[in-house]
Amino acid sequence: MAAKMFKVGDHVSWNSEAGHVSGHIVHVHTQDVNYKGYIHHASEEDPQYEIKSDRTDHVALHKGGALRKIK
């Protein structure tokens, strides 16, 4: 099954320790990225999405499988 693909500007939601969170994709990483001291693996086929929370300034990185597009 192909990974879900999103683009910059998409409004998405995901589950976090605090419950459902929503935000907008601000960057699509297609190469490994060092973020907060961790290497997040990414590729053209399986990118990491950088998402800015709607409610806070928090930025998160997630793979497409963890995200759901909000209409």
Q: Please provide the DSSP assignment of 39-54 as one string.
A: EEP--SSS-EEEEEES
Distance of CA 42 to the CA centre of its chain: 11
Distance CA 11, CA 69 (A): 6
pLDDT of residue 8: 98
Looking up tokens 């693996």 gives 41
Identify the pLDDT of residue 19.
87
Model pLDDT, residue 46: 95
Reading the chain (71 residues) residue by residue, the pLDDT tens digits are 456 799 999 999 999 887 899 999 999 999 999 998 999 999 999 999 999 999 998 999 999 999 999 98
Q: Where are the domains of the chain?
A: 11-69
- Residues linked to residue 52 through DSSP beta bridges, in sequence order: 24, 59
pLDDT of residue 16: 85
What integer pLDDT is reported at residue 1 of this predicted model? 45
Question: Which residue from 15, 63, 25, 16 is spatially nearest to 43, judged by alpha carbons?
Answer: 63
